[in-house]
Structure 1
Amino acid sequence: MYNFDVETPSTVAEAVSALSQDEAQPLSGGQTLIPTLKARLAAPSVLVSLHGIDEMKGVSKDGATLKVGGATTHATVAAEAAASYPALASLAARIGDPAVRNRGTIGGSVANNDPSACYPAGVLASGATVVTNTREIAADDYFQGMFETALEEGEIVTGVNFPIPEAAHYEKHLQPASRFPLVAVFVAKFADGVRVAVTGASENGVFRWSEAEAALSSNFSADAVADLKADGSEMISDLHGSGTYRAHLVGVMTKRAVAAITG
């Protein structure tokens, strides 16, 4: 690592002020940033820790919306969202290992937007709203490609608001070495239609599978997507699986997710 200073603000306003310094960078759970610093792939002058900002922590239900603070750990989401949004709690409970779940945060994951991260699929499939210190961003506008988001310089993810669907399920094909999904699909059924989000598969990061959404909105059953095939032209291809294999898994995971919902 290179030398850097650490600031520990206790409010969002203090964090925003600290991030206005040259080469300052926010530190949430640190599950991606710390390894990056160790590899000397980043050299911030100041790390601004978001860990001590209590107003960014916690899970609460407000009518038909589940509100999750940006500094809330995966373990907390797994425990506190279970009653109101079981599919989201299940997603959080299967991220990484216990050490990752007790340090990593939803805000850090959503801000980083790793193409194989779990949370982006839950956020996008839910039609959630990403809340920052300055505005609210619809999930469809927020994710903009691999590691790319709508966040501007110095903007902090302070929370995520999830509309609670009628039914949902997250189906994940685990890559054992990293515990990231090789391919995972989040299916959320709402009164006005179905949203299907895929992570781990595309070179462009998380995406909605519109063909599956249309089929399931007309007929919510595993049979409705049994013959659908995802486009494999822009799928990730690496030592763990070819793009063709990942495209196949998109269909398999979607069918399994629907089957889990319908029983």
Structure 2
Amino acid sequence: MPATDIHPNSLGTVHQQSDVAEAETWIDATEQFAEHCAQTVTKLLGESSLYFEQPAFATPQIQLTKFVERLLRQTHTPLSIAVATLTVINWITEDGLCPLASSSPHHLFMGTYRAVLHHALDMRDVDAEWVKFARDLVPLAEVTQMREEVDMMLQTLSERRWAVLSDLVSEDVHNTVNILYNAELLQAKEQEREAEEFLLMEEESVRSGFLVYERDPSSDSPKYDSDDSDDWSDGKDYVSRRDQNLSGQMPSTNYLANRRA
């Protein structure tokens, strides 16, 4: 998409073509990245021309790193949204914009993160939800005022800056979908392999005489009996349950279509 065609509502559009990539280990880096965000926002705000002005809002009584981490976890979004947020915060502090959101590092990250998230993923949210995300440490009135202020600022961004944000968000969303799909696919294959190995072991035990059938007087169905085990399920029932479980584990095409749409 050319830079001249970039629009706020197109931020974060995922490429439609699918790349077959090796699955990567899924690592929770939220806590570490939250610390990075907290340090960066504090540094940038300290360099802003608004830093020495009287803040409009009181600083929430919570450690900034914990505050940022909670927002990241509550919204369940790719960390690239936070990277884009830091980029916008850099522009805000560089130009001395958004005096309300610049009241504290907490307000600045929260207000900017929400605005970027809204445009990147077209997130349908309300102000009250963000009050809950912040554990009521940021009043509803402040959330509303920050939203209006930062949204207005985003509307003034140049096409070049929108292109930068779009690239930041789109690439990570695309990679995230691929990683999740490949991880689920490997998990399903591993479960299928384990089920087949278990079934082979069970059949071998029957052939070797370690397992014998005995009939339950109260039932017409046979059951296994062994000195080394308790109750064994009928092999046919096991295969049926295994197939049902595997069908539920395999990623559906609808899932990918929805994530990539």
Give TM-score scaled by structure 2 length. Answer: 0.27
Who wins on radius of gyration, i.e. which is larger? 2
As a proportion of its length, which structure holds more helix? 2
Higher relative contact order (CA 8 A, sep 6+): 2
